[in-house]
Amino acid sequence: MKKKSNNFLMSIIIVISLIYLSVLVFLFFFQRSLLYLPNVNNYFGDKLKVDIEEVQIRTSDNINLVGWFHKKDLKKFKTIVYFHGNAGKLDNRIHKLNHFKDMDINFLIISWRGFSGNSGKPSEQGLYKDGKSAIDWLRNLGLSERDIILYGESLGTGIATQIALNKKFAGLILETPFTSMVDAAQNVYPYIPVGLLLKDRYENDKKIKKINIPVLVMHGEADEIVPFKMGKKIYEMANQPKYSYFTKYDNHMMKYDEKLIFALTSFIKSLN
């Protein structure tokens, strides 16, 4: 009887092990489909209230990226380069971009490879190329690093910190930043060895220490996707001058209310 019980227990262990191994194999091969979500759109029906020009930006590996460019006065005002998060089209950011029309700012927002009808497949190195191509595009208009403010939203904070590394941009804005993609993934998959499986790591915590330009970190304590403690840690690790806009009730998609707009405009004005 004891031998049968042991055999049964061993069978259960083998089945569970095989299921777990299958999950690991699935996550390894399909991880980018879980990380990059170009077809998940959270906002619909917002109408642009700011004038934009749709532009095409060519990357170093010959991919055309769609972008929206708002030019108020390139010589007089700073230009924000907006790196969006891991989901949806540019349209999903209209509710944010509309607020920029009341600021003394130009902006360029690009859509990643594989997003908004762009060719290519997203990856960490690919998105770094996309971000750099946006900067190069503005350089061709005569802008220097000192004319440009980098703005990263969620996943976009990984690209913004990479682009800012050891550079002299006017400033860096990080909305709901994570410490690293390994940490963020571990929060979602606590029983998976993501540190061994993850291809795209976006190590913001290692890079923020090497960034020596003004930084604004924005994060809500109610964030259920990227824990608030990650944004707070990024702020604590950032070099001076640094500023924070932390709220108690904001989730991952922060509310663009009067308080947030005030924090943004105050930061932008401090860079002039």
Residues 6+ apart with CB under 8 A from 157: 83, 174, 175, 176, 177, 178, 204, 234
Is residue 261 scored above 90 in pLDDT?
yes
Cβ atoms 69, 55 nearer than 8 A: yes
pLDDT score recorded for residue 8: 65
**Two tokens, residue 151:** 């703005």
How confident is the prediction for the chain on average, in pLDDT? 93
CA 264/CA 60 separation, integer angstroms: 32
Handedness of CA 144, 148, 153, 157 (dihedral sign): positive
Tell me how far apart the alpha carbons of residues 173 and 268 are, in angstroms, rounded to a whole number: 10
- The predicted pLDDT at position 158 comes to 98
Torsion of CA 96, 43, 243, 137, to 10 degrees: -60
Q: How many CB atoms lie within 10 A of CB 115?
A: 24
pLDDT of 14: 83
**DSSP 8-state symbol, 239:** P
Find the DSSP H helices in 40-168: 94-100, 124-139, 156-164
Return the ∠ at Cα 205 (arms to 255 and 149), rounded to 5°.
55
Residue 175 pLDDT more than 90?
A: yes
Report the distance separating Cα 149 and Cα 78, nearest Å: 7
pLDDT at 54: 96
pLDDT digits (tens, 9 = 90+) for 83-108: 999 999 999 999 999 999 889 999 99
- State pLDDT tens for residues 209-225: 999 999 999 999 999 99
What is this structure's pTM?
0.94
Instruction: Return the pLDDT at 4.
Output: 58
pLDDT in tens, 1-50: 555 566 667 777 887 878 888 888 888 899 999 999 998 887 767 889 99
**Token reading at 59:** 């990357």
Cα 17 to Cα 32: distance, rounded to the nearest angstrom: 24
Q: Kindly give the pairing relationship between strand 148-153 and strand 171-175.
A: parallel
Per-residue tokens: 74: 């390139």
- Domain chopping of the chain, boundaries: 36-270
- pLDDT bin (cut points 50, 70, 90) of residue 248 is very high
Fold of the domain built from segment(s) 36-270: Rossmann fold (3.40.50)
**Can you give the pLDDT at residue 21?**
85
Q: What is the pLDDT of residue 149?
A: 98
Q: Mind listing the pLDDT tens digit for each residue in 49-59?
A: 999 999 999 99
Question: Which of the four pLDDT bands, split at 50, 70 and 90, describes residue 76?
Answer: very high
